Structure 1
């Protein structure tokens, strides 16, 4: 798996969707039930910055703030700057083999941290696109790979985990629909769903 290439493509596609966001849309609800679009974008900025800063922090005593992102008058530009900081950090020599602390969930090689963020990019791109009614059609390889990664973890069953319980979809559903459903989202959102997706995140999709 060429995670660097996959991540680059996912980040580019999600950035294109975010560039379409208008200021009047920031109060809209999102598939992450606890977040408005403003809250979701602020979370994404926070994640970009925290992942970047975690690459140089002491993994045993990291003081990285995972909720430090802020949005100003131009949220898309705030996101773009944070994404650039992320990309620069993870392009540094040796960073994919360096130990990186991801929130309270543990210490992982940088390559694994990049995998976490890749899944975030694919799913949050869908979240934003659904919220603003924009098209989101990533290359099938992106959601298919993210789904394979997530299926290595049992789906939530009772609503007590990081994600909401998995939503059932037909076997004929697209890889993207299967991915978001696996993480507790209704692929037909904003239609009524069995249960809203949580807004929690651990460096993966919230």
Structure 2
């Protein structure tokens, strides 16, 4: 079985390649995340990295790690630094990803504790989708690596699609209809409530 950390690292590094192409003048652009500018999205992405890194190090219950901050002019540098931090934190984990526990207080579970393998799976899917979010926001192509497709789709389809999607602060909105001939990336996006043809308004 492929280590979920390897899949996650590839997805995160692909997101880093996309974010490196962001210019300061792009930060006010609207994104597929309704109501969020690119500055908001990049701030969220960096904070989530820091929160998951804290969870991997046993300190995820501290809400200060998860506090949202919109990105400033140094958004790219902040995101890249946070990306390296979370990848390092995951690398520090031992081999027992079922025995290790992540505390993820943003998830509506009491107590919000998950096996590390599951927590990293959540993170992996987030950054497949967020890499696409940033790419379409700045008008560049994004392709999901073929070696990530099947695992990404499998994990995506395990995400519940019920009332949890309509709650305030939900990571994803309700799933959209998925055509049989949709690409794997489009299936992922549609199941997580994204519109593959989305483009920013002028």
TM-score using structure 1 length: 0.83
Equivalences for residues 96-115 of structure 1 within 5 A: 96=97, 97-105=99-107, 106-115=112-121
Say yes or no: does 1:51 pair with 2:52: yes
3-state SS of paired residue (1:138): coil
| Alignment-derived partner of residue 63 in structure 1 | 62
> How far apart, CA to CA, are the structure 1 residues paired with 2:12 and 2:163?
30
Structure 1 unaligned blocks of 5 or more: 193-206
Deviations 1:126-178 (A, max 9, x none): 00001000111121332432221121234347962433222223211111011
Q: Does 1:27 align with 2:36?
A: no
Q: Distance in 2 between matches of 1:48 and 1:158?
A: 22
Q: Given the two structures, how large is their TM-score scaled by the length of structure 2?
A: 0.84
Q: Deviations over 1:70-93 (max 9, x none)?
A: 634321111110011111111114
Contact 1:180–1:187 under 8 Å retained in 2: yes
1:91 aligned residue:
91
* Residue 172 of structure 2 is aligned to residue 171 of structure 1: no
- Residue of structure 1 equivalent to 2:136: 130
CA RMSD of aligned residues (A): 2.3
Deviation at 1:35, TM superposition (A): 1.0
Contact 1:55 1:110 in 2 (8 A): yes
Q: How many residues align?
A: 190
In structure 2, the residue matched to 1:183 is 192
Structure 2: runs of 5 or more not aligned: none
CA distance in 2, matches of 1:55, 1:158: 25
Runs of 4+ in 1 over 6 A off after TM superposition: none
State the shift of 1:57 in Å: 3.2
Would you say the 8 A contact 2:41–2:70 is kept in 1? Answer: no
